[in-house]
């Protein structure tokens, strides 16, 4: 196995396209190295993108949108106060990944490209309507996050492509997100279920925009459009929440595995969805007050 750590976009692209065997992007390595240790065949080339400046930035653009480098470790994302103010749900979702040690390395790009149905940051990215900037020698394309994972462990990226950064759209006022997950342990655990909710309210507290994404309840994270529609036009009253819960349940297509039964996943996803909606709503409403 060869290793390189290029510092420019062009060099990364070249390294990815010129490799003559299997090549892999190395970000934090928290998935990749753990899998090497358990016997996964190693590629002939590892391209470390942590030295690539554009993949390490977190910044708010003039239009209010955010760009987060795909190779930013969790600790940097969590430490970014401005990002946390606008996107508390995403910030918390990222923070839930692993331990402090894992946070020192794990990245958003790795979390997405590992393509696990249970990845914590992915539902939050989807509910945020985030896009990723995918780059290769052939140029650049922007893809909505929900289109990246095509099946467990597989993404829509070609071998010579990589994600350089994520774009989160500008925040409307009175809007906020939240992410909740269920794990048996308080920390160091993989989600049995995860729910991200991103809501926008009008000035009377009525929901005008709503996005919901579910983790660990299907082969890929679920962008639950039908469920999110139920919240539109409501102020999250009990009856709407009940319908929302039911619709979320309907949209779960979980499997039973070592971590949970399918039935439990469905039930608990509905519970988390209602709780996350409440948190997102209260956060957005607090914005009204301010």
Partner 1 sequence: MKKHIQMQLNGQSVEFLCETSGTLLHALRDSLQMTGTKEGCGSGDCGACSVMMNDTLVCSCLVLAVECSHADIRTVEGLAAGDALHPLQQAFLDNAALQCGICTPGLLVAAKALLDKNPDPTETEVRYWIAGNLCRCTGYDKIVRAILDAAQRLRGNASVNELQP
Partner 2 sequence: MTKKSAAIGNEAPGMAPTIIGTRPVRPDGIDKVTGRARFGADVNLPGSLVGAVFRSPHAHARILNIDISKAQALPGVKAIITAEDLPVISEDMALINNQPPDFRDLSANVLARGKVLYEGHAIAAIAAIDEQTAHQALLLIDVEYAVLQHVVDLHQAMEPDAPLLHEHLITKGITPAPKKPSNIASRYEQVHGDVEAGFAGADIVISEEFTTQPVHQAYIEPHACMAQVAADGQTDIWCSSQGQFMVRAYCARLLDMPLSKIRVIPLEIGGGFGGKTTVYLEPLAVLLARKSGKPVRMQMNRSEVFKATGPTSGTFISLKIGARKDGTLVAAQGILCYQAGAFPGSPVRLGCMTAFAPYNIPNVKLIGYDVVVNRPKSAAYRAPGAPMASFAAECLIDMLAQKLEMDPVALRLLNAADDGTQTAYGVTFKHIGYRQTLEAARQHPHYSAPLGPNQGRGVASGFWFNIGGPSSAAININEDGTAVVTTGNPDIGGSRAAMAMMAAETLGIPYDRVQVLIGNTNAVSYSDLTGGSRVTFAVGMAVTQAAQAVIEDMKRRAALLWSVEPAEVEWLTGNAVLVAEQKQLSLADIAGQAARTGGPIAAQANINAQGAGPGFATHICDVEVDPETGHVKVLRYTAVQDVGKAIHPSYVEGQMQGGVAQGIGWALNEAYLYDENGRMLNPGFLDYRVPVASDLPMIDTVLVEVPNPRHPFGVKGVGEVPIIPPLGAVANAVARATGVRLFDLPMSPPSVHKAIKKAARRRR
Half-sphere exposure of 203 (CA within 13 A, CB side): 1
Which residue among 31, 92, 146, 177 contacts ligand FAD (CB under 6 A)? 31
User: Which does residue 58 touch among partner 1, ligand FAD, partner 2, none (CB within 5 to 8 A, set by kind)?
Assistant: none
- Identify the sign of the CA torsion 97, 99, 104, 106: negative
SS3 labels along 90-126: HHHHHHHCCCHHHHCCCEHHHHHHCCCCCCCHHHHHH
Token duo for residue 201: 């309210």
- As a residue count, the chain comes to 290
Distances (CA, A) of 217 to 72, 80, 209, 270: 27, 30, 23, 11
Binding partner at 46 among ligand FAD, partner 1, partner 2, none, C-beta below 5 to 8 Å by kind = partner 1
Instruction: Choose the binding region for ligand FAD from 113-121, 201-209, 233-241, 279-287 (rule: CB under 6 A).
Output: 113-121
Measured from the CB of residue 103, what is the shortest distance to partner 2 in angstroms?
A: 14
Segment holding 72, helix H or strand E: none
Identify the residue among 46, 70, 72, 236 touching partner 1 (CB under 8 A). 46
Quote the CA–CA distance of 73 and 106 in Å, as a whole number: 5
| Partner whose footprint covers residue 221, from partner 1, partner 2, ligand FAD, none (CB < 5 to 8 Å by kind) | none
**Closest to partner 2 by CB, 156 or 188:** 188
- Of 186 and 204, which has the nearer Cβ to partner 2? 186
Shortest Å distance, C-beta 145 to ligand FAD: 12
139, β-bridge pairs: 136
List the x/- string, 172-211, binding to partner 1 by CB under 8 A.
--------------xxx-----------------------
Q: Which of residues 170-189 bind partner 2 (CB under 8 A)?
A: 182, 184-189
């Amino acid at each position: 196995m060869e290793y390189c750590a290029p510092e420019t976009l062009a060099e990364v692209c070249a390294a990815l396209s010129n490799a003559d065997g299997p090549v892999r992007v190395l970000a934090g390595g928290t998935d990749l190295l753990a899998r090497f240790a358990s016997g996964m065949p190693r590629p002939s080339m590892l391209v470390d993108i942590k030295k690539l400046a554009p993949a390490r930035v977190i910044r708010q653009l003039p239009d209010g949108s955010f760009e987060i480098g795909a190779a930013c470790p969790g600790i940097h994302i969590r430490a970014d106060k401005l990002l946390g103010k606008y996107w508390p749900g995403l910030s918390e979702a990222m923070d839930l990944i692993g331990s402090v040690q894992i946070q020192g390395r794990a990245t958003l790009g790795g979390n997405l490209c590992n393509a696990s149905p249970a990845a914590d940051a992915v539902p939050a990215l989807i509910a945020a309507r985030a896009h990723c900037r995918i780059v290769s020698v052939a140029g650049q394309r922007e893809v909505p996050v929900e289109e990246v994972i095509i099946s467990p462990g597989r993404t829509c990226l070609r071998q010579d492509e990589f994600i350089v950064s994520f774009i989160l759209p500008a925040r409307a006022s009175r809007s906020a997100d939240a992410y909740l997950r269920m794990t048996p342990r308080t920390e160091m655990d993989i989600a049995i279920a995860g729910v991200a909710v991103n809501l926008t309210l009008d000035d009377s507290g009525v929901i005008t925009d709503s996005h919901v994404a579910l983790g660990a309840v299907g082969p890929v994270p679920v962008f639950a459009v039908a469920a999110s529609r139920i919240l539109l036009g409501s102020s999250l009253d009990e009856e709407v929440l009940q319908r929302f819960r039911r619709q979320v349940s309907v949209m779960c297509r979980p499997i039973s595995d070592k971590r949970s039964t399918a039935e439990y996943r469905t039930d608990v996803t509905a519970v988390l969805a209602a709780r996350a909606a409440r948190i997102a709503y209260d956060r957005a409403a607090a914005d009204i007050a301010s």
